[in-house]
Amino acid sequence: MPLKGNISHSIVFWCFNVAGEKWDMDRTCEVARQLGVKSIELSDPDTWPTIKKHGLTSAIAMNGMPGAPFMKGLNNPRYHEQVIDCTTKTIDACADFGIPSVIAFTGYKWRDAEDPTSGEISAEEGADNCVRGLEELARHAEKRGVTICLEHLNTRDDTHPMKGHPGYQGDDVDYVANIVRRVGSPRVKMLFDLYHVQVMNGDLIRRIEQCKDVIGHVHTAGNPGRGELDENQEINFAACLRKLVEIGYQGWVGHEFIPTRDPVAGLKQAVEVCDV
């Protein structure tokens, strides 16, 4: 499918590997090539050779944390050693394989990430802890030429474990952007997920402008429901993507919706809508 070239599209693997037809990596790469998409992202390192075999790349990697990696994050000193170790190893793997970015998370606000009764980490304390952890990681990321992207997630949708994350500390886009600015490294940016920002903050075009100095990666999904980018959801993706072009964003746009119908048709529609 011929594309305009202003947007670098990417497919988020987990959406199509765990839902719908449960594609393996070969099938995902075949669909990507059919649509003119050049990246498959957020997959396990053992799939990276398959991506390369198909002549594709990977825009961003997970940080290597086991389980739900967004729960135990940099806001909590209890998990710093593990998070920093896992992320450092992933940075090295990304540098060796040519993957430009790795994802990072603030983590849940509870002192035991899996126990809401364990007490809360204050927003200020959580931000300070994130800055300290990211400063340590940034020194290594700068040496290896890999960008760490701290993701903002919504806490409002409690209908599905991958549609929202009640308890996540970094649920305000300004909070996450300011953590990134405090670190002050060219290798620490924000993952600006249009779906999550719409749920929590809205005002997407203005938010893109306000965050243009820190956006390092972008995700899409329709709202409400984290479904396809179609007429049943409220985000004007074409306008948002035009704004990204206007601010000079040159990173990747990963399509991260949970398919509710034919996944190839949904991906084709997402690429067409966002290919401004």
CA-to-CA separations, 71 to 31, 53, 141, 190, in angstroms, rounded: 31, 33, 22, 17
pLDDT digits (tens, 9 = 90+) for 66-79: 989 999 999 999 99
pLDDT beyond 80 at 160: yes
Spatial CB neighbours of 201, under 8 Å, sequence gap ≥ 6: 172, 173, 174, 207
Q: Is 36 left (phi over 0), alpha (psi -120 to 50) or beta?
A: left
Q: What end-to-end distance do the CA atoms of the chain give, in Å?
A: 14
Give the pLDDT mean for 139-153.
Answer: 98
Report pTM: 0.96
In whole angstroms, how far apart are CA 162 and each of 56, 69, 86, 140, 232?
26, 12, 22, 30, 19
pLDDT exceeding 90 applies to what percent of the chain? 97
Contact 194, 204 (CB under 8 A): yes
Count CA atoms closer than 13 A to 139's CA, side-chain side: 6
What's the mean pLDDT in 165-187?
98
The domain spans of the chain are 8-274
Measured over the CA atoms of residue 140, residue 152, residue 255 and residue 68, the dihedral's sign is: positive
Q: Would you state the pLDDT for residue 20? A: 66
Inform me whether the pLDDT recorded for 19 exceeds 90: no
> Domain 8-274 adopts which CATH fold?
TIM Barrel (3.20.20)
pLDDT band at 222 (very low <50, low <70, confident <90, very high): very high
Burial class of residue 259 (count of CB atoms within 10 Å of its CB; 0-12, 13-18, 19+): middle
pLDDT at 231 exceeding the cut of 80: yes
